[in-house]
Structure 1
C-alpha cells in the first residue's frame, strides 16, 4: 500500500482515479487513518466530483476541525456546488493558502461575497489578493472590473465612479466605466467614457477597439472603421481586430 505522501504525489500527477482506489481501501478501516479523507476530498475535487468531495472533506473536518487545508478545499468545493453562503465561513477561517488548492481562497472568497451581495467585503477580499488597501482607488476599480465580469453592472459603475472620486487621474477608470455603459447598451455614455480614456492614453490600442465596437453598435460605421484601423496600427498582431475592421471595408 502506498503511503499518503505517495498518494498525494499521484493526485498531483493527474492520477487521481488510481489514488482513489487505494484511498477507498484506507477509508474502509476503522478508525479511518488521519489524512485519508482529506486526500480523498482532494482526489475527488480533482475529478470534478464535488458532491462526494464535500462528503469526504466534511468527514476530514469532523476528524480534525483545525485541518486548514480541508477547510480551504471544502470552501472551494461548496463554491463549485453553488453554495457560496456555506463556503464563506470556511474560506474566512483560512489564514493562508496552500499550493495544493491551486486557487487563492481570497479570490474565491471574494466571488462568494459577490454572489451573496456583500460587495464591500468582496472589494476587501479582491484588494487583499492584489495587495491594495481595501478603501483605495485601485481596490474600487479592481472590484468594479470583477463585478463587470459577473454582470454586476450597477455596483460596478458605482465602484468605478468611486475610484475616480478618490483618484481623478486613475488609469483605466474611464475605460471601465465605458465598458459598463457598453454592457448596458448605453452607447452615448460608453463613447464619452472611452473618449476620455483615449485622451489620457492615446497609444492604447484596446481603447480604439472599444470605441470601434461602441460606434458600430450605434450605427456610426465610418467612425467605427476609423477607430478599428487606429487600433490595428497600434496593435498589428491583434488578429481579432483585423476581422472586426474588415467588416467595415
Structure 2
C-alpha cells in the first residue's frame, strides 16, 4: 500500500483555516465601527460570548469533521480493494461515524477552540490597550494598533487550530475504523521533510499500538510532553497508517512496546498479536 494513502489532505486544513479566518474577519469589521479602543475591546468581549459566535464555531467544526470523515471513506475503500479484509473494512466504512462519540467530541472540542480565538484576543488587546494609554498614545492610533494586533493574534491561532485539529481528527477517526476491524496497530508516518521534529523523526516507520501511545520526546531524552499518537501534537503533520496486513511492512520491523522501540521479526510480532489475523 502507498504509505501516503492515510496522509491527511492539506486542502481540508486550508479550508478549515480559511473558515476560521472568515469568522475572525467578520469580527474585525464590527470592531472597526467602534468609536474608541475601549469600545472595541468591549465589543470583542461581547462577540466572543454571543450565540452567533457559538453557532458559527459549531458549523465550522462540523464542516471540518465531516470533510475528514468523508475523505477517509476513499482511503479505506482503496485499502479494502488492496487487501484481504474487504468485508470488514466495508463494514467499518458504512457504519455511521457521525453518530459516534468520537465524532461528536471532535466537533465539541473544535467549537470551543474557535470560540477561544476572540476570547484570548480580548485578553491580549486589553493588555495592549492599557499599555498604550499608559504610554500616552492617541485613541485613534491605539485603536489602529489593537486592530492590527487582533489580526496577528487571530491569524496565528487559526493556523495552529487548523493544522493541529485536522490531523487529530484524522487520527481519531482512523482509529475508530481500524479498531472496528481489529486492526490494533498502526505505522507512525512523518511528513518526511526538513521541518519534522527530531523526536517524531525517531518514530517514523515505527509500529504503535492504539492502546499504548508513546512519548516521542522521552524516548530520545528530550523534555517529556506526555504520551500521544501520530498527528496529536500541536502543529504536528505526522499521521497514522493502520496496519491492515502483516505484509504492509517489511520484517524485521521497529515496534514500540513497553516504553521502548525494538526490532522484531514477524514471528515475534505475531506472538504479541495473538498469532492470528490483524
TM-score range, shorter chain: under 0.3
TM-score, normalising length from structure 2?
0.24
Which structure has more helix as a fraction of its residues? 1
Larger Rg: 1
Q: Per chain length, whose mean CA-contact separation is higher, i.e. which structure has more relative contact order (CA < 8 Å, sep 6+)?
A: 2
